[in-house]
Structure 1
Amino acid sequence: MNPLKVLIVFDKPIPVLKYGGIQRIVWWLGKELTRQGHKVTFLVGEGSHCPFAEVKIYDPEEPLEKQIPEDIDVIHSYIPVMEPLKKPYLVHMESNTKKQEYDINTVFVSRNHAERHHAVCYVHNGLDPDDYGKPDFKKKNYLHFLGKAAWRVKNVKGAIEVAQKSNWRLHVIGGSRVNFHMGFRFTIDPRMRFHGMIGGERKNKVMNASSGLLFPVVWNEPFGIAITESMYFGCPVFATPYGSIPEIVDHESGFLTADKAELIKHLKDRPEYNARQIHERVMEYFSVKQMTESFLKLYERVMNGEQLNPAMPYFEKDSEPKFLPFG
Structure 2
Amino acid sequence: MNVLIFLKNKSTSILYGGTERVIWYLGKELNKMGHSVTFLVNEGSYCDFAKVIIYNPNLSLESQIPEYIDIVHINDDYFTEEISKPLVVTIHGNTENSSLHPNSIFVSKNHASRYNSDNFVHNGLDWDAYKKPDLASRRDSFHFLGNAAWKVKNVKGAINIIKKSKTEKLAVMGGTRWHPNTFTVNNRISFLGMVDDTKKAEVMSKSKGLLFPVTWHEPFGLAITESLFYGCPVFGSTFGSLPELVSKDVGFLSSSEDELVDAISNSENFSKEKCSSYAVEEFNSKKMAIRYLEKYETVLNKKSLIKR
Q: Same fold (TM over 0.5)?
A: yes
User: Alpha-carbon deviations, 1:129-183, whole Å to 9, x = none?
Assistant: 1231211112412100000000000000010110121231101000111104xx5
Matches within 5 A, 1:86-235: 86-138=84-136, 139-166=138-165, 167-180=167-180, 183=181, 185-235=182-232
User: Alpha-carbon deviations, 1:170-219, whole Å to 9, x = none?
Assistant: 01000111104xx5x42111211111011211111111221100000000
| 1:98 partner letter | E
| 2:147 partner letter | K
Q: Assess if the C-alpha contact under 8 Å between 2:208 and 2:267 holds in 1.
A: no
| 1:143 partner letter | F
Q: Assess if the C-alpha contact under 8 Å between 1:174 and 1:198 holds in 2.
A: yes
Once the two structures are TM-superposed, the CA of residue 234 in structure 1 deviates from its matched residue by 1.0
Aligned to 1:317: none
C-alpha distance in structure 1 between counterparts of 2:265 and 2:198, whole Å: 30
Aligned to 1:322: none
Q: Assess if the C-alpha contact under 8 Å between 2:108 and 2:120 holds in 1.
A: yes
Q: Assess if the C-alpha contact under 8 Å between 2:11 and 2:20 holds in 1.
A: yes
C-alpha distance in structure 2 between counterparts of 1:6 and 1:66, whole Å: 16
Q: Assess if the C-alpha contact under 8 Å between 1:144 and 1:170 holds in 2.
A: yes
Q: Assess if the C-alpha contact under 8 Å between 1:131 and 1:200 holds in 2.
A: no
Q: Assess if the C-alpha contact under 8 Å between 1:177 and 1:186 holds in 2.
A: yes
Instruction: Tell me the TM-score normalised to structure 1 length.
Output: 0.90
| 1:172 partner letter | V
Instruction: Tell me the TM-score normalised to structure 2 length.
Output: 0.96
Aligned to 1:34: 31
Per the alignment, in what secondary structure is the counterpart of residue 220 of structure 1?
coil
* Greater than 6 Å deviation, 4+ residue runs: none
Aligned to 1:47: 44
Q: Assess if the C-alpha contact under 8 Å between 1:91 and 1:107 holds in 2.
A: yes
Aligned to 1:17: 14
C-alpha distance in structure 1 between counterparts of 2:84 and 2:306, whole Å: 19
Segments of 5+ residues of structure 2 without an aligned counterpart are none
The structure, 1 or 2, with the larger RCO (C-alpha pairs under 8 Å, 6+ apart) is 1
Once the two structures are TM-superposed, the CA of residue 81 in structure 1 deviates from its matched residue by 3.8
User: Alpha-carbon deviations, 1:245-296, whole Å to 9, x = none?
Assistant: 1111100000000011111122234441111111111111111011000001
| 1:147 partner letter | G
User: Alpha-carbon deviations, 1:25-63, whole Å to 9, x = none?
Assistant: 111111111111111000001111111111001111211
C-alpha distance in structure 2 between counterparts of 1:94 and 1:251, whole Å: 26
Aligned to 2:292: 295
| 1:131 partner letter | A
Aligned to 2:58: 61
Per the alignment, in what secondary structure is the counterpart of residue 164 of structure 1?
helix
C-alpha distance in structure 1 between counterparts of 2:205 and 2:43, whole Å: 33
Deviates more, 1:164-173 or 1:289-298: 164-173
C-alpha distance in structure 2 between counterparts of 1:153 and 1:212, whole Å: 20
C-alpha distance in structure 2 between counterparts of 1:200 and 1:27, whole Å: 15
C-alpha distance in structure 2 between counterparts of 1:28 and 1:118, whole Å: 28
C-alpha distance in structure 2 between counterparts of 1:263 and 1:83, whole Å: 45
2:82 paired residue among 70, 81, 84: 84
| 2:51 partner letter | E
Q: RMSD of aligned C-alpha atoms?
A: 1.3
Q: Assess if the C-alpha contact under 8 Å between 1:146 and 1:174 holds in 2.
A: yes
Q: Percent identity?
A: 45
